[in-house]
Structure 1
Amino acid sequence: MTMNRESSALVLVDYQGRLMPAVAGHEAMVQEALFLGHVANELDIPVLGTEQNPAGLGPNLDSVRALCSHTLTKMHFDATKDGLLDKLRAARPGLSQVVLAGCEAHVCLLQTALGLLRAGLQVFVVPQACGSRRPEDKALALQRLQQQGAVLVNGEMVAFEWLQSCTAPQFKAVLNWVKQRPAPTPAQQVETAA
């Protein structure tokens, strides 16, 4: 199955400023999330953010919030238990696919993805835009998500499947975002190869 922009939404889970310094590789993770958000905005794909208990953890990073049409405050780790499905369906009638990224991968991202899968949606997770304090927790979460039916993709897969063709009016704008991406670090290349 490919990602279809007419039936997709992007959800950015808990990129909260107080949490970020504790997340392994948070700088690269945030950059990948911003890339996804910019591409989604270019293609008029709804972008929703979530914030876990912002009174305690603070708001999402300003750069992430700026890309979201709505940010959902939640107390459950699974954002679907705090109204995410209603917000998604209101933002994207005919919704069948959700591209998901965020942290922590083994808690809120995992439980939100499982909630979306239970609701019958196709879920695509972008590992490079996900994180946990400990890399092994992220790895285990991604393994479990695959076992449960989520599809792991990278940011450029998302961008080019949403575009479908180089004749799309937004192709040059999206290509510009692709070209602005930083080259992967040696550590990221090793992680990707593993």
Structure 2
Amino acid sequence: MSSQTTAPQRRFKRPVVFVCDIQDKFRTAIWNFDKMVLTAAKVLRAAHILRLPVHTTTQNRARLGDTVPELAALLTPRPEGGALIHPSVDKTRFSMWVPEVAAQLAGDERSNGNDNAGENGGRGAPAEVILVGIESHICVTQTALDLLANGHKVYVLADGVSSCNREEVGVALARLRAEGATVTTSESVIYELMGDAKVSEFKQIVGLVKETSAQTRDVLQSLL
């Protein structure tokens, strides 16, 4: 019998994180804004542990401000490694799928050694996009629809999106399920990113989950 052990199998082949328009000017307008920010922070911490690409946008930054300061350190590249943090892209479209972000996503694939990144109509291999931000029924929805149309998989985190009006959120999530997006939660997707307790990052991820467990419970009770 062979003594070789099977390498752990990760469930996602090309995971990335999209952070949509979590800006200061929305703080008092968005339902449970601070709760959504907590989820975004947890996902970004996981992204650093797992060394995932992160794409961030702002909507009309000159009027609506920068991404919130609570996420600033997590959206800064780390000299010792961590997530691949791309420069934030400012936009006026109600979708993150703008040429600059599409080019960043193609660059992610090339940096992973895939020489076929320009194939499949310029889309490259499908990415598994983990999406957080605002507003669920506008920019999150249009981003998800554009990603799906371009052949990518989309995981919208129900505890990581919100809108000005609470009632919009459930309608948006129901529509996105019908369109082919996966609606899930931050803890579920973090474990799916690992796929196996044998992955090298398991202890760090479990530590993150335990550290944020009370916050996670509070966010789920507030947003869902």
Same fold (TM over 0.5): yes
Residue 24 of structure 1 corresponds to 31
Does 2:92 match 1:85?
Answer: no
| TM-score normalized by the length of structure 2 | 0.78
Identity of aligned residues (%): 28
Amino acid at match of 1:26: F
State the secondary structure of the residue aligned to 2:25. Answer: coil
Aligned length: 189
Distance 2:39 2:216 in 1: 12
Match of 2:63 among 37, 56, 68: 56
Distance 2:182 2:190 in 1: 15
Distance 2:89 2:56 in 1: 6
Does 2:221 match 1:189?
Answer: yes
Q: Return the structure number with greater helix share.
A: 1
Amino acid at match of 1:100: L
Does 2:190 match 1:159?
Answer: yes
Amino acid at match of 2:217: P
RMSD of aligned residue pairs (Cα, Å): 1.8
Distance 1:95 1:151 in 2: 15
Q: 1:35 to 1:11 in 2, by over 3 A?
A: same
Does 2:176 match 1:145?
Answer: yes
State the secondary structure of the residue aligned to 1:78. Answer: coil
Q: 1:50 to 1:101 in 2, by over 3 A?
A: same
Amino acid at match of 1:163: M
Q: Structure 2: give runs of 5+ residues left out of the alignment.
A: 1-9, 76-84, 111-124
Distance 2:24 2:189 in 1: 25
Does 2:172 match 1:173?
Answer: no
How far off is 1:81 after superposition?
3.0
Partner deviation per Cα, 1:13-32 (whole Å, 9 max, x = no partner): 01101112211111111101
Alignment of 1:127-146 (within 5 A): 127-146=158-177
Q: 1:33 to 1:125 in 2, by over 3 A?
A: same
| TM-score normalized by the length of structure 1 | 0.90
Partner deviation per Cα, 1:43-99 (whole Å, 9 max, x = no partner): 011111110010010000123243231211111011213432221221244452111
Distance 2:102 2:53 in 1: 13
Residue 37 of structure 1 corresponds to 44
State the secondary structure of the residue aligned to 2:74. Answer: coil
Aligned 8 A contact 2:47 2:54 in 1: yes
Match of 2:132 among 101, 105, 108: 101
How far off is 1:5 after superposition?
4.2
Q: 1:92 to 1:135 in 2, by over 3 A?
A: farther
Larger Rg belongs to: 2
